[in-house]
């Protein structure tokens, strides 16, 4: 049974104002922002040997902790949709991730953003009957097995498509992931726990939406990350934020607005959650790769773009670049080494290794342009290291 209690955080508009007050240098969120009345933060999928004793229940960290954690992460995954018509791959998605499965499996933990529900039935109210530019996704529940086969261990369900078919499909998605053994975080208050060689990894996923862990609520974000860090050995924060499109590869130092919606002040968000105890921050949402920086020794990847999307999408230029972030962090959560493994989507979609390393080259140039003083060092082969 999944227990969940919503935050009683600052109002949405106040949250936006609070981000502006913090700024990217984060003087002190704890003292400069109003405190919500109470924030209970339990909603998770515990590991088999810890069922019912998740982070919100005060699960202790492991007594013997590995010296390093090796993690691989990708951006948006939408392997086909049953709506508005049957837009599924010819082989029912079985081979979509096969070309890159060796890269996904070769890690302690593999993370992905699940862009839309896994649900065989349901009705959407998102798109009007005459809409020609509305995207609502609903992938078959059986596609969870493709994620398992590719080595995916934990996913974010915090994004603007997770509720495309309503609350019932959200619950079906969570039950489907549970049955497949894939951990998830997304709904408000949710923390996913992954067992890593006897240690506990927390994954907390955010989106600019009050139904999710809220990217726009700095006080609530700090509180749930602090709780995760106190009860786990490592804490990874994921966010789905930022403006979308081929021209949105840079990370502005301000709140991002897309079609009138606030999509987060991502530099300030990253600093806030790192100050709260996040060891690694992974972004997605703009549908293009963005740069990386190192904040107080912790790696931030601002967008991993599209990874495996199937339908009639524009995959030209950076929209088709599908990087895999390979990263090692030490016992204290500090960035040790890593790489950008470049893959590319063409045609109808699905990632394939890119020998030209286009994603790595783009992310190197973006990192050096946006974060001249805090970008990691890039080598020509895509390797990244602390400076």
Is 18 in contact with 12 (CB distance < 8 Å)?
no
d(CA 113, CA 335): 22
pLDDT of residue 139 exceeding 80: yes
d(CA 260, CA 273): 25
Is 303 in contact with 250 (CB distance < 8 Å)?
no
Which one, of 369, 368, 102, lies nearest residue 384 by Cα?
A: 368
Q: In which band, very low, low, confident or very high, does the pLDDT at 81 lie, cut at 50, 70 and 90?
A: confident
Is 353 in contact with 99 (CB distance < 8 Å)?
yes
Helices 218-231, 266-276: inter-axial angle, 10-degree rounding: 30
**Contacts of 46-53 spanning 24+ positions with Cβ under 8 A:** 46/193, 47/183, 47/193, 47/194, 47/195, 47/200, 48/195, 49/195, 50/193, 50/195, 50/200
d(CA 351, CA 280): 24
Q: In which band, very low, low, confident or very high, does the pLDDT at 128 lie, cut at 50, 70 and 90?
A: low
pLDDT per position as a tens digit, 156-208 = 999 888 877 888 899 999 999 999 999 999 999 999 999 999 999 999 999 99
On the CB side of 156, CA atoms within 13 Å amount to 31
Is 227 in contact with 277 (CB distance < 8 Å)?
no
Residue 135: per-residue pLDDT: 79
Beta carbons within 10 angstroms of residue 209's beta carbon: 21
Q: pTM (2 decimals)?
A: 0.85
Average the pLDDT over each of 36-50, 61-75, 147-161, 341-355 and give the range with the smallest value.
36-50
Higher pLDDT, 202 or 12: 202
Is 202 in contact with 231 (CB distance < 8 Å)?
yes
Percent share of the chain, pLDDT over 70? 82
pLDDT of residue 236 exceeding 70: yes
Which one, of 291, 296, 265, 314, lies nearest residue 375 by Cα?
A: 291
Cβ-based neighbours of 234, under 8 Å, separated by 6 or more: 69, 196, 199, 200, 201, 202, 279, 280, 329, 333
Is 205 in contact with 57 (CB distance < 8 Å)?
no
DSSP 5-45: ---B---HHHHHHHHHHH-TT-S-HHHHSPPPSB-------
Residue 161: per-residue pLDDT: 83
What is the rounded average pLDDT for all residues in the chain?
A: 85
Residue 122: per-residue pLDDT: 77
Kindly list the distances between the CA atom of residue 163 and the CA atoms of 174, 284, 343, 345, in Å, as whole numbers in the listed order: 12, 17, 28, 26
Which one, of 295, 333, 250, 303, lies nearest residue 25 by Cα?
A: 295
Average the pLDDT over each of 42-46, 272-276, 310-314 and give the range with the smallest value.
42-46
Region 288-316 average pLDDT: 95
Cβ-based neighbours of 386, under 8 Å, separated by 6 or more: 294, 297, 335, 336, 337, 376, 377
Higher pLDDT, 17 or 252: 252
Is 44 in contact with 191 (CB distance < 8 Å)?
yes
pLDDT of residue 26 exceeding 70: no
Residue 8: per-residue pLDDT: 29
pLDDT of residue 37 exceeding 70: no
Query: For the chain, which domains are there?
Result: 12-123+134-385 (3.60.21.10)
d(CA 340, CA 345): 16
Residue 44: per-residue pLDDT: 39
Residue 85: per-residue pLDDT: 75
Q: In which band, very low, low, confident or very high, does the pLDDT at 130 lie, cut at 50, 70 and 90?
A: low
d(CA 279, CA 295): 10
Q: In which band, very low, low, confident or very high, does the pLDDT at 124 lie, cut at 50, 70 and 90?
A: confident
**Distance, C-alpha 76 to centroid of its chain:** 8
């Amino acid at each position: 049974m999944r227990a969940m209690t919503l935050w009683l955080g600052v109002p949405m508009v106040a949250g936006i104002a609070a981000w502006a007050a913090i700024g990217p240098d984060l003087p002190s969120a704890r003292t400069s922002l109003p405190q919500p009345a109470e924030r209970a933060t339990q909603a998770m999928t515990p590991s088999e040997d810890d069922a019912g004793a998740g982070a919100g229940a005060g699960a202790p960290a492991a007594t013997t902790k590995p010296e390093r954690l090796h993690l691989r992460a990708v951006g948006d995954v939408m392997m086909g949709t049953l709506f508005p018509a049957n837009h599924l791959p010819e082989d029912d998605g079985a081979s979509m991730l096969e070309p890159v499965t060796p890269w996904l499996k070769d890690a302690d933990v593999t993370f992905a953003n699940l862009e839309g529900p896994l649900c065989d039935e349901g009705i959407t109210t998102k798109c009007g009957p005459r809409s020609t530019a509305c995207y609502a996704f609903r992938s078959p529940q059986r596609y969870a097995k493709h994620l398992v086969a590719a080595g995916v261990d934990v996913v974010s369900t915090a994004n603007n498509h997770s509720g495309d078919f309503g609350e019932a499909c959200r619950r079906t998605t969570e039950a489907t992931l549970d049955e497949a053994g894939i951990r998830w975080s997304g709904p408000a208050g949710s923390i996913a726990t992954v067992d890593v060689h006897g240690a506990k990894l927390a994954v907390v996923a955010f989106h600019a939406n009050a139904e999710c862990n809220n990217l726009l609520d700095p006080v609530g974000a700090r509180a749930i990350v602090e709780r995760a860090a106190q009860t786990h050995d490592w804490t990874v924060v994921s966010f789905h934020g930022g403006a979308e499109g081929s021209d949105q590869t840079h990370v502005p130092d301000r709140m991002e607005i897309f079609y009138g919606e606030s999509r987060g002040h991502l530099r300030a968000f990253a600093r806030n959650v790192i100050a709260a105890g996040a060891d690694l921050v992974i972004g997605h949402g703009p549908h293009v790769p963005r740069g990386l920086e190192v904040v107080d020794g912790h790696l931030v990847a601002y967008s991993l773009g599209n990874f495996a999307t199937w339908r009639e999408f524009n995959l030209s230029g950076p929209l088709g670049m599908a990087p895999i972030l390979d990263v090692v962090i030490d016992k204290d959560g500090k960035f040790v080494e890593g790489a950008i493994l470049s893959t590319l989507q063409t045609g109808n979609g699905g990632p394939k290794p890119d020998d030209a390393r286009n994603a790595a080259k783009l992310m190197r140039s973006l990192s050096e342009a946006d974060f001249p003083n805090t970008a990691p060092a890039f080598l020509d082969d895509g390797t990244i290291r602390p400076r």
